[in-house]
């Protein structure tokens, strides 16, 4: 019996070696951790249970039968993050460059199926060279099985990809279909074909964030998991919060500058509203004119979408619309309420945007908000001009509670543009134009016309924003909306 137990120990030890000490050392020299070290950091201590550590490839091409490594280049299993169940697979670059073989794909597929069955998030850690070149079509088909499961799980369980080394060929498309992609600066890069490596994909919208090293990336993934629901039925996690929901913040009363064209940082408002100032920003480096991310109110996750006046005056352009639309759809799929802060001078004008598909991209955000069934709370802090007023979670497209600060300006456009159009005949008379501008500002650039007609539910004191949002979200906790039966919608892609 002792022999048998020792044999098991021996086989486990061999499997844990992966591609061997030398290749493991090379990982470290390159500033990367090994697959198992990464899993250790990602999961709660001692919680990892590994699947299929003895699986070997079955290829006999090019002398492959002589080079079998137990585990076949991917470490798979499940464990917990702060006590909550997650599934994980980590590509082992020390074994055939983490490349995907038939059996390697089967291991990933097993974990994907298990995660879906158990309704828990799945996290993929990538450090890999794509399809195992020696296996040909068996590897290509392996990817297809993985891709199909990504799509089946989409909107049911959160799927997260972390790129921690090369990510080549077929390995890029599975992450591309997951909910979030994060990268490690300097060591990670993605490419579909050829040598053109994309290292700074955070700017290209492919990645949702980048971190300085493996340790930071993995610790941030633990933080993200704490914000996310386990699946589309459980609702958001509830964590203890020591931040009073009645807390007022008087500094918000002076956040908006006197000059309406002067910027201010909308992140200050988000940080002052969320519990303990804890905000996980998503896609921070892309389309900075809109801010998206997760915070908590009363210990429960909330998705925040906010125009950022510091960048392009917070205008909506194609990239900002796409970025926010994807975030809104994620929140809606997983029952995360959305709070929208509006300070938007409109859509970005110009032929570059028009030819670049602004109509289609802007429609994505309009569509995403309009189809939401989660609680939607909107606060207009300053400008809500033109079509952007409608798009940014207006009451008429389905938001539940719409508030305006006294500094809000809700109008078809700013005073200057409006006067130049409707009083064109007076353009040669500066006094008349100045008088007309003042008249327009007094009449339209305030929240009260909208409030008088019920387009906003209340004009609120900026200092009470957290309290009002918390009350609205508590009131909307059990929101139910019936939608007509359909196979699926036809989002303007
Ligand atoms: C088999 C591979 C491999 C692969 C790397 N290796 N990629 N083995 N299949 N796809 C092996 C190498 O032979 C080497 O083995 C070890 O992994 C480390 O690789 P290096 O090249 O030494 O490492 P590095 O210099 O860091 O370069 C990493 C790399 C490079 C950039 C990923 O290996 C590379 O370009 N690989 C090929 C990428 C690629 O074109 N893949 C196929 C894509 S087609 P030894 O024994 O020497 O340590 C594809 C189709 C699917 O994926 C499409 C579905 C939509």
Give 23-80 as a DSSP string: HHHHHHHTT---HHHHHHHHSPTT--EEE-TT------GGGGGG---TTTTEEEEEEE
Pocket test for ligand 1, best of 22, 100, 130, 146 (most atoms within 8 A of CB): 130
Residue owning the nearest CA to atom 53 of ligand 1: 170
In angstroms, rounded to a whole number, what is the distance separating the alpha carbons of residues 91 and 88? 10
The atom of ligand 1 lying closest to the CA of 166 is: 32
Among 220, 222, 163, 214, smallest CA distance to 28 is for 214
Pocket test for ligand 1, best of 21, 97, 100, 164 (most atoms within 8 A of CB): 97
Residue owning the nearest CA to atom 54 of ligand 1: 170
Of the candidates 170, 295, 314, 346, the residue annotated as catalytic is 170
β-pair type (401-404, 180-184): unpaired
Instruction: Report residue 295: phi and psi, to 5°.
Output: -135, -170
The atom of ligand 1 lying closest to the CA of 23 is: 48
Is 124 assigned a catalytic role? no
Contact 267, 304 (CB under 8 A): no
Is 170 assigned a catalytic role? yes
β-pair type (84-91, 122-128): parallel
Q: Measured in angstroms, how far is the CA atom of residue 137 from the centroid of ligand 1?
A: 16
Tokens in use for 492? 């303007």
CA distances, 452 to each of 81, 349, 447, 481 (Å): 49, 31, 9, 27
Of the candidates 169, 295, 303, 346, the residue annotated as catalytic is 169
> Which of helix, strand or coil describes residue 304?
strand
Rg from Cα positions in the chain: 26
Pocket test for ligand 1, best of 129, 165, 193 (most atoms within 8 A of CB): 129
Q: Measured in angstroms, how far is the CA atom of residue 206 from the centroid of ligand 1?
A: 22
Among 211, 219, 209, smallest CA distance to 185 is for 211
* Residue 195 pLDDT: 54
* Residue 200 pLDDT: 47
Residue owning the nearest CA to atom 37 of ligand 1: 129
Is 194 assigned a catalytic role? no
Of the candidates 388, 393, 470, 472, the residue annotated as catalytic is 388
Among 84, 173, 159, smallest CA distance to 128 is for 173
The atom of ligand 1 lying closest to the CA of 130 is: 52
The atom of ligand 1 lying closest to the CA of 192 is: 43
Per-residue pLDDT of the chain (493 residues; tens, 9 = 90+): 889 999 999 999 999 999 999 999 999 999 999 999 999 999 999 999 999 999 999 888 888 888 889 999 999 999 999 999 999 999 999 999 999 999 999 999 999 999 999 999 999 999 999 999 999 899 999 999 999 999 999 999 999 999 999 999 889 999 999 999 999 998 998 888 765 555 545 556 789 999 999 999 999 999 999 999 999 999 999 999 999 999 999 999 999 999 988 999 999 999 999 999 999 999 999 999 999 999 999 999 999 999 999 999 999 999 999 999 999 999 999 999 999 999 999 988 888 888 888 999 999 999 999 999 999 999 999 999 999 999 999 999 999 999 999 999 999 888 888 888 889 998 899 999 999 999 888 888 899 999 999 999 999 999 999 999 999 999 999 999 999 999 999 999 9
Contact 72, 106 (CB under 8 A): no
Q: Measured in angstroms, how far is the CA atom of residue 345 from the centroid of ligand 1?
A: 48
Contact 371, 486 (CB under 8 A): no
Question: Beta partners for 341?
Answer: 306, 379
Is 18 assigned a catalytic role? no
β-pair type (189-191, 159-168): parallel
CA distances, 18 to each of 67, 94, 235 (Å): 12, 6, 39
Quote the strand ranges of 338-481, DSSP E.
Answer: 338-344, 376-385, 401-404, 409-411, 458-459
In angstroms, rounded to a whole number, what is the distance separating the alpha carbons of residues 61 and 127? 24
The number of CA neighbours under 13 Å toward the Cβ of 433 is 14
In angstroms, rounded to a whole number, what is the distance separating the alpha carbons of residues 32 and 38? 9
Of the candidates 387, 398, 417, 435, the residue annotated as catalytic is 387
Q: Measured in angstroms, how far is the CA atom of residue 191 from the centroid of ligand 1?
A: 12
The DSSP secondary structure of 156-187, one letter per residue, reads: TS-EEEEEEEEEEGGGGHHHHTSSEEEEETTT
Q: Measured in angstroms, how far is the CA atom of residue 255 from the centroid of ligand 1?
A: 52
Residue owning the nearest CA to atom 33 of ligand 1: 129
The atom of ligand 1 lying closest to the CA of 195 is: 35
* Residue 353 pLDDT: 84
Residues with CB under 6 A from ligand 1: 96-97, 99, 129-133, 140, 143, 166, 168-170, 173
Q: Measured in angstroms, how far is the CA atom of residue 18 from the centroid of ligand 1?
A: 16
Tokens in use for 212? 């300085």
Place of tokens 């938001």: 399
In angstroms, rounded to a whole number, what is the distance separating the alpha carbons of residues 237 and 218? 20
* Other beta carbons less than 10 A from residue 18's beta carbon: 23
CA distances, 68 to each of 14, 22, 139, 333, 356 (Å): 12, 17, 16, 42, 50
Q: Measured in angstroms, how far is the CA atom of residue 480 from the centroid of ligand 1?
A: 50
- Three state DSSP letters for 227-244: HCCCCCCCCCCECCCCCC
Q: Measured in angstroms, how far is the CA atom of residue 188 from the centroid of ligand 1?
A: 14
């Amino acid at each position: 019996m002792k022999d048998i137990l020792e044999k098991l120990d021996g086989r486990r030890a061999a499997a844990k070696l992966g591609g061997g000490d030398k290749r493991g050392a090379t990982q470290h020299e390159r500033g990367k951790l090994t697959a198992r070290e990464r899993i250790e950091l990602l999961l709660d201590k001692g919680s990892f249970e590994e699947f299929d550590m003895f699986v070997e490839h079955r290829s006999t091409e090019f002398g492959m039968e002589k080079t079998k490594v137990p585990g076949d280049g991917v470490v798979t299993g499940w464990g917990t993050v702060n006590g909550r169940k997650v599934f994980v697979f980590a590509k082992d670059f020390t074994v055939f460059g983490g490349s995907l073989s038939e059996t390697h794909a089967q291991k990933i597929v097993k974990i994907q199926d298990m995660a879906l069955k158990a309704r828990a998030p799945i996290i993929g850690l990538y450090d890999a060279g794509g399809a195992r070149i020696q296996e040909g079509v068996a590897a290509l088909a392996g990817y297809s099985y993985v891709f199909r499961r990504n799509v089946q799980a989409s909107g049911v369980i959160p799927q997260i990809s972390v790129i921690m080394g090369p990510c080549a060929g077929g390995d890029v498309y599975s992450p591309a279909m997951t909910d979030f992609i994060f990268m490690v600066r300097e060591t990670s890069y993605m490419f579909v074909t050829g040598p053109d490596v994309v290292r700074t994909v955070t700017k290209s919208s492919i990645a949702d964030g980048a971190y300085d090293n493996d340790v930071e990336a993995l610790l941030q993934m633990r933080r993200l998991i704490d914000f996310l629901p386990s699946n589309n039925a459980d609702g958001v996690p509830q964590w203890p919060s020591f931040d009073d929901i009645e807390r007022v913040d008087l500094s918000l009363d002076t956040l908006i500058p006197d000059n309406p064209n002067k910027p201010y940082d909308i992140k200050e408002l988000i940080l002052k509203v969320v519990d303990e100032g804890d905000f996980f920003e998503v896609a921070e480096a892309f389309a900075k004119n809109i801010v998206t991310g997760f915070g908590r109110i009363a210990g429960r996750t909330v998705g925040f979408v906010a125009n950022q006046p510091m960048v392009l005056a917070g205008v909506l352009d194609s990239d900002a619309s796409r970025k926010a639309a994807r975030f809104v759809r994620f929140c809606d799929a997983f029952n995360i309420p959305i709070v929208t802060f509006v300070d938007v001078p409109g859509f970005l004008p110009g032929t570059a945007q028009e030819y670049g598909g602004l109509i289609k991209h802007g429609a994505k955000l309009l569509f995403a908000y309009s189809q939401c069934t989660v609680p939607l709370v909107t606060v207009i802090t300053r400008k809500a001009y033109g079509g952007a007023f409608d798009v940014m979670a207006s009451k008429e497209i389905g938001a539940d509670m719409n508030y305006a600060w006294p500094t809000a300006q809700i109008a078809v456009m700013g005073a200057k543009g409006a006067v130049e159009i409707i009083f064109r005949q007076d353009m040669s008379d500066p006094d008349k134009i100045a008088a007309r501008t003042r008249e327009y500002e007094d009449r339209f650039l305030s929240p009260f016309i909208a409030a008088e007609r019920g387009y906003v539910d209340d004009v609120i004191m900026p200092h009470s924003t957290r309290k009002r949002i918390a009350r609205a979200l508590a009131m909307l906790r059990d929101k139910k909306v019936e939608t007509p039966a359909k196979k699926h919608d036809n989002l303007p892609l």
